[in-house]
Amino acid sequence: MTQNLLDGLRVLDLSLWQPGHYATQLLADLGADVLKVEPPGGDRMRPLADRFANFNGRKRSVALDLKDERDRAVLLELVGGVEVVVENYRPGVAARLGVGFDRLRSANPAVVLCSISGFGQDGPLATATGHDANYQAYAGAMTAVDAGPPVPSALLVGDQGSGLVAAFAILAAVLCARRTGEGEHIDVSMADLLATWVAPLGPVDPRREAASAGGPDGAAPAMGLFATADQRWVVLGVFSEDHFWAALCQELGLERHVGLSMAERTAGAVWLRAEVSAAIAGRTQEDLLDSLGRRAVPIAPVLTRGQMLEHPHFHQRGVLTVGPDGYLMVAHPVRYAVHPALPPGAAPALPEYRLSE
């Protein structure tokens, strides 16, 4: 009988959002045994039936409350029998729950932990909240020309791309762990990945830009692009989270809308979006980033490629670095705590390598 590529690979999936789901789905598709660890009440993506089904096929599931000491002990026992653990909590949450890399490694020295987050486990933006459009905005992936409105991707490129690169990084780390017995902590940042895709690009082609402020305004009135008083743009990422919606309304002087459920916000998306847009239009980008950021509301400035290349977050993270020729280069998009990736090297000359001489 033909075996699958990843038969024998055992994975614990603690992720609650699409990037982790997609990463482990790719592994499951190739034969990995993926056990979903869901919180009491189930994965938060379960209500999105099609999406959940497409990103969680061939997996098994168990419900554990990681805030409960007994359930946490069960998880750590499971860790002893797997090679990979995937999580996409906000930075620091896994450690606070008692399932950070150091704790997992004490249960299994060869375990590979893959952490997927919006901006990475450290850096100036590490604690910022967001959704895919926020990461696109910071990465310079929405650049518009001729003062036109920026246009986000119609695809969840940060979610999907980070899931893909996470699966790749996991397999690289597993190969190393099997060879050396040493585990690895993989740090995947959605914004980092998008920045590495944008940075090498040349001038923007105007033919690819759409003359629309657009954005996903049908389902969520506070998702997508909004113009500010200083002719700039911000991206809000308030989707299903009631606490984000409440904080946004309180900051924008829209207290009368605090308490609206997601269903009510969806039903009134058009007129609610108009009110949010009007409130944002009276504030500057810098003011909004500061005030809403302090309330932990997902907000991002829409940066051009050039602004992204100068942003300290990507330099401190090492995504953008100086190459051997002294010029700015794009580094490997994923960070490894134990076995770091090689720094950027010089491109080969032509011809540099001959099959036979």
The answer to whether 345 and 324 are in contact (CB under 8 A) is yes
Of 300, 318, 351, which residue is a domain's last? Answer: 300
Residues 50, 157 share a domain: yes
Residue pair 129/297 in contact by the 8 Å Cβ criterion: yes
Query: Tokens representing 178?
Result: 């099997």
Q: What is the pLDDT of residues 54-72, one digit of tens each?
A: 788 888 888 899 999 999 9
Q: Are residues 173 and 284 in the same domain?
A: no
Residues 149 and 238 in one domain: no
User: What are the distances in angstroms from CA 163 to CA 189, 193, 282?
Assistant: 10, 10, 38
Q: Is 166 inside a domain boundary?
A: yes
Here the tokens at position 236 are 């809000």
Q: What is the pLDDT of residue 209?
A: 37
* Separation of alpha carbons 6 and 107, rounded Å: 23
Q: Which residue has the tokens 């060869």?
A: 110
Question: Is the link from the previous residue into 351 a cis peptide, with omega within 30 of 0?
Answer: yes
pLDDT, residue 2, reads 60
* Residues contacting 326, CB < 8 A, separation 6+: none
Residues 237 and 272 occupy one common structural domain: yes
The torsion of the CA quartet 34, 109, 178, 16, rounded to 10 degrees, works out to: 20
Instruction: Please check whether residue 174 is in contact with residue 84, taking contact to mean a CB–CB distance below 8 angstroms.
Output: yes
Structure tokens given for 193:
């990945």
In the three-class reduction of DSSP (H, G, I as helix; E, B as strand; rest coil), residue 226 is classed as strand
Alpha helices (H) in the chain, listed in sequence order: 18-29, 49-55, 69-79, 93-96, 101-107, 132-138, 157-180, 190-198, 242-252, 262-267, 269-281, 285-294, 305-310, 312-316
DSSP string across 148-193: PPP---SS-HHHHHHHHHHHHHHHHHHHHHHHHS--EEEEEEHHHH
Of the residues 250, 271, 300, which one is the last residue of a structural domain?
300
* Number of domains observed in the structure of the chain: 2
Task: Please indicate, yes or no, whether residues 26 and 152 belong to a single structural domain of this protein.
Answer: yes
Rounded to two decimals, what is the model's pTM? 0.77
The residues carrying an active-site annotation are 159
pLDDT exceeds cutoff 80 at 210:
no
Q: What's the CA dihedral at 339, 344, 345, 351 to 10 degrees?
A: 110
| One domain, residues 234 and 288 | yes
Is there a domain that residue 235 lies in? yes
Q: Average pLDDT of 301-321? A: 91
pLDDT in the model for residue 145: 60
- Give yes or no: residues 97 and 222 share one domain: no
Question: In this structure, what token pair is assigned to residue 62?
Answer: 């168990």
Q: Residues 102, 242: one domain?
A: no
Within-domain flag for 356: no
The number of angstroms, rounded, from the C-alpha of 61 to the middle of its chain's C-alpha atoms is 23
213 falls in which pLDDT band (50, 70, 90)? very low
Tokens of 270: 């058009």
Q: Which tokens belong to 104? A: 């997992």
Task: Tell me how far apart the alpha carbons of residues 136 and 142 are, in angstroms, rounded to a whole number.
Answer: 6
Residues 140 and 259 in one domain: no
- The parent domain of residue 296 ranges over 211-300
8 Å CB contact between 329 and 307: no
Q: How confident is the model at residue 219 (pLDDT cuts 50, 70, 90)?
A: low
**Does 277 share its domain with 163?**
no
CA-nearest of 337, 345, 304, 353 to 321 is 345
178 plus 57 within the same structural domain: yes
Q: Tell which of 131, 164, 196 closes a domain.
A: 196
Number of C-alpha atoms within 13 angstroms, CB side, residue 159?
Answer: 18
Nearest to 142 by CA among 132, 131, 153: 153
**Residue 288 domain-assigned (yes or no):** yes
Residue 125 inside a domain? The answer is yes
| 16 and 71 inside one domain | yes
How many Å apart are CA 129 and CA 172, to the nearest integer? 29
At 129-186, the pLDDT tens digits run 899 888 989 988 886 666 678 878 877 888 989 999 999 999 999 999 999 999 999 9
CATH number at residue 127: 3.40.50.10540
Per residue in 226-244, pLDDT (tens digit) is 999 999 999 999 988 999 9
